[in-house]
């Protein structure tokens, strides 16, 4: 099946008891057994739930993977991956990544003796300089949050394979529609399902997709043993959202291109970060591994004044100032004080995350209305 067909049909089937075309919400905690251990594949809803099973199968198909594993949040999914490792193990991560991931790595797992190295990954071959006998995994985001850096997944996969390391890729910004890391050599794909997969700002969830049987068995064990599982109502909402993923991502990408071009030519904008520009670092890699460039954009203001950034965001009418991204409605955020506040200022600024940087999640509204909203807000500074 092609992507749009998989989004609607993969992993789901009409309910056999009623013919209902939508997957039922199995709002149950437990399941009746005929005899001890003699059940119909379901015992307890932390372990398995039919609505969650349908979603996991659907997600696996979208990423061209064998296994989908859902969690109650994106951070819950990342937490499960890091629990594969032991004290003394080391993980190499990109140096520009979601602040919650950085916080989980440094404030939680470093306390248990796992060491993290945050390094630039524009050139995959440079990663080898940080690998030693304790290194177990490379963690990649691409495009990165919020600087929109592009990392060559196939290039990093080559390095990981040469050193027998696990390669995990956070594919949240791209979604499975724009990019499929497993096809590029990754071992694990992570999604904050909250974002583009759900797509309607009404659910919080995370997911992992992979092909390796042994890794999947370990992660399914952690999913059940640690219990960070989503409920059936949330799974239903995501299944519904995914049915229009291909349509939404096409519009997000179209609008993203329009808004990025508008901002690049605005006299009050200093720099625009969007991988569709030919002068964007690793633009050629983005063209190779992505189907389009998406609707995530970051930009800074001339003069780099925090107060100017606040003024702009306070005067938006359509770009809502809020955490998160990937919904049908346009959102804006201030990473330095919101999503990335847990990262020390000096570390933020090393990668270009300055105080005037504004991150946009361009929605699916009419692009001309969004341009007018930007024009009005920028006119206030």
Question: Is the model's pLDDT at 341 over the cut of 90?
Answer: no
Percent of the chain whose predicted confidence (pLDDT) is above 90: 96
The rounded Cα 182 to chain-centroid distance in angstroms is 14
Work out the pLDDT band at 339, boundaries 50, 70, 90.
Answer: confident
Q: Which residue, 205, 240, 275, sits at the end of a domain? A: 240
Alpha-carbon distances of 270 from 283, 351, 354, rounded to whole Å: 20, 16, 12
Q: At what angle do helices 306-314 and 367-378 cross, to 10 degrees?
A: 130
Q: Which pLDDT score, from 0 to 100, does residue 342 have?
A: 84
Whether 252 and 330 map to the same domain: the answer is yes
Residue count (the chain) = 381
| Torsion on CA atoms 123, 87, 343, 171, rounded to nearest 10 | 50
CATH of the domain at 83: 3.40.640.10
Q: Which range has the worst mean pLDDT, 162-176, 241-255, 328-342?
A: 328-342
Query: How far is 131 from 110, CA to CA, in rounded Å?
Result: 18
Judge whether 25 and 236 are in contact, CB under 8 Å: yes
- Domain, as residue range, for 208: 3-240
Whether 9 and 63 map to the same domain: the answer is yes
Work out the pLDDT band at 277, boundaries 50, 70, 90.
Answer: very high
Please identify every residue annotated as catalytic: 46, 98, 170, 195
Q: Which pLDDT score, from 0 to 100, does residue 177 have?
A: 98
DSSP letters spanning 314-329: HT-SSSEE-S---SSS
Whether 214 and 344 map to the same domain: the answer is no
Whether 42 and 76 map to the same domain: the answer is yes
Number of domains in the chain: 2
Judge whether 40 and 171 are in contact, CB under 8 Å: no
Alpha-carbon distances of 41 from 31, 52, 154, 225, rounded to whole Å: 9, 13, 38, 18
For residue range 161-188, what is the model confidence (pLDDT) as tens digits? 999 999 999 999 999 999 999 999 999 9
0.85 exceeded by pTM: yes
Work out the pLDDT band at 343, boundaries 50, 70, 90.
Answer: confident
Whether 236 and 327 map to the same domain: the answer is no
Task: Quote the tokens at residue 46.
Answer: 């932390």
**Mean model confidence pLDDT for the chain:** 97
Whether 312 and 208 map to the same domain: the answer is no
Question: Is the model's pLDDT at 120 over the cut of 90?
Answer: yes
Whether 282 and 317 map to the same domain: the answer is yes
Query: How far is 27 from 181, CA to CA, in rounded Å?
Result: 33
2's CB contacts (< 8 A; 6+ apart) are none
Whether 233 and 292 map to the same domain: the answer is no
Average pLDDT for 252-281: 98
Question: Is the model's pLDDT at 310 over the cut of 90?
Answer: yes
Percent of the chain whose predicted confidence (pLDDT) is above 70: 100
Name the helix (H) or strand (E) containing 93.
strand 90-94
Q: Which residues pair with 295 in a beta bridge?
A: none
Whether 44 and 136 map to the same domain: the answer is yes
Q: Which residue, 207, 240, 273, sits at the end of a domain? A: 240
Whether 232 and 249 map to the same domain: the answer is no
Whether 229 and 184 map to the same domain: the answer is yes
Average pLDDT for 19-30: 96
Higher pLDDT, 351 or 242: 242
For residue range 33-89, what is the model confidence (pLDDT) as tens digits? 999 999 999 999 999 999 999 999 999 999 999 999 999 999 999 999 999 999 999
CATH of the domain at 310: 3.90.1150.10
Whether 355 and 229 map to the same domain: the answer is no
Q: Which residue, 221, 240, 259, sits at the end of a domain? A: 240
């Amino acid at each position: 099946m092609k992507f749009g067909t998989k989004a609607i049909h993969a992993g789901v089937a009409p309910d056999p008891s009623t013919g209902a075309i939508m997957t039922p919400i199995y709002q149950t905690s437990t399941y009746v057994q005929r005899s001890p251990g003699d059940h119909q594949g379901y015992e307890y809803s932390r372990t398995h739930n039919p609505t969650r099973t349908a979603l996991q199968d659907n997600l696996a198909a979208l990423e061209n993977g064998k296994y989908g594993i859902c969690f109650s949040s994106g951070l819950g999914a990342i937490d499960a991956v890091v629990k594969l490792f032991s004290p003394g193990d080391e993980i190499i991560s990109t140096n520009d990544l979601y602040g919650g991931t950085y916080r989980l790595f440094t404030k939680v797992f470093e306390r248990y003796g796992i060491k993290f190295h945050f390094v630039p990954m524009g050139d995959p071959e440079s990663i080898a300089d940080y690998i030693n006998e304790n290194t177990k995994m490379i963690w990649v985001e691409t495009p990165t949050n919020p600087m929109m850096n592009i990392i060559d997944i196939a290039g990093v996969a080559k390095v990981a394979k040469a050193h027998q390391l696990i390669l995990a890729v956070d594919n949240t910004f791209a979604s499975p529609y724009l990019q499929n890391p497993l096809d590029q050599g990754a071992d694990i794909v992570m999604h904050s399902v909250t974002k583009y997969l759900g797509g309607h700002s009404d659910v919080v969830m995370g997911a992992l997709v992979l092909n390796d049987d042994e890794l999947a068995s370990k992660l399914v064990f952690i999913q059940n043993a640690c219990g960070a599982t989503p409920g059936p109502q949330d799974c239903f909402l995501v299944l519904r959202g995914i049915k229009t993923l291909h349509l939404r991502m096409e519009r997000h990408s179209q609008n993203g291109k329009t808004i990025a071009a508008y901002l690049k030519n605005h006299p009050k904008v200093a720099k625009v970060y969007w991988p569709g520009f030919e002068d964007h670092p690793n633009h050629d890699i983005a063209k190779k591994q992505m189907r389009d460039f998406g609707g995530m954009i970051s930009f800074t203001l001339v003069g780099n004044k925090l107060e100017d950034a606040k003024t702009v965001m306070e005067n938006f009418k359509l770009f809502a100032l809020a955490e998160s991204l990937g919904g049908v409605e346009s959102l804006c955020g201030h990473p330095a004080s919101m999503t990335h506040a847990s990262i020390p200022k000096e570390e933020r600024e090393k990668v270009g995350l300055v105080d005037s940087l504004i991150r946009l999640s361009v929605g699916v509204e009419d692009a001309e209305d969004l341009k007018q909203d930007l024009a009005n807000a920028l006119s206030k500074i």
